[in-house]
Amino acid sequence: MNDAAHWSIFVEAALINNFVLAYFLGICPFFGVSAKLETALRMGGAVSFVMLVASVCAFSINLLLDAVAAPYLRIISYILVIASTVQLVEMLMRKLSPATFRALGIYLPLITTNCAIFGLALFQTNREYDFTRSVVYALGAGAGFALALVLMAGVREKLDLANVPQLVKGTAAALVVAGILSMSFMGFAGLGR
């Protein structure tokens, strides 16, 4: 019973409460594949896609769990159903659209148990979004994830050429960049109304 406007849900998920920069969800792929712009774009696309699938799954599971009054099965059923659905989608994609599979497919197994996906499913349940709001929320979260990944990749490509002390190189530098990005994203707060 959340009646927030659709566009405000989108803006909130993509910018204000960006999954990576405000909730620290999906940091592993964020640092792992954000070294190149090209891979970052594809990873972003793949995550958005899986988020959409997961959001629909989570919404239906939740209906089912409410019907049988078994909230204690939420965690276990979310993770199992989302993981298997993504596997199914991956197989279908390989059969039906090999081109898309080549572009996104190799990332799919990586992100099935990604925290961002699972986090999305939990948050939309906690906020009691209806079906369209859940989908909009998933789209926003996916767009935000892709945006963060692409921005990060852009900065890191430049950073490679800069003269950084040996001690700071690698994860520490990436963390500081992420912190600064996170600060700048705070400027979006208050937009989503």
Q: Which is nearer to other proteins, 126 or 163 (CB)?
A: 126
SS3 content of the chain, % helix, strand, coil (to 5): 80, 0, 20
Binding mask 123-162 for other proteins (x = CB under 8 A): x--xxx----------------------------------
Least separation in angstroms between CB 23 and other proteins: 5
CA 15 vs CA 5, 106, 129, 164: distances in Å: 15, 27, 19, 29
Stretch that binds other proteins, among 8-16, 92-100, 143-151, 154-162 (CB under 8 A): 8-16
Binding mask 49-88 for other proteins (x = CB under 8 A): -----------------------xxxxx--xx--x-----
Instruction: Residue 15: name the closest of 160, 115, 151 by CA.
Output: 151
Tell me if 152 sits within 8 A of 34, measured CB to CB: yes
Token couple for 57 = 């799954």
* Residue 178 in contact with other proteins, rule: CB under 8 A: yes
Token couple for 185 = 């994203």
Q: Is 5 helix (H, G, I), strand (E, B) or coil?
A: coil
What residue has token string 């659905």?
A: 85
Where do contacts with other proteins occur on this chain (CB under 8 A)?
1-2, 4, 8, 12, 16-17, 21-28, 31, 72-76, 79-80, 83, 113-119, 122-123, 126-128, 167-168, 171-173, 175-176, 178-180, 182-183, 186, 189-190, 192-193
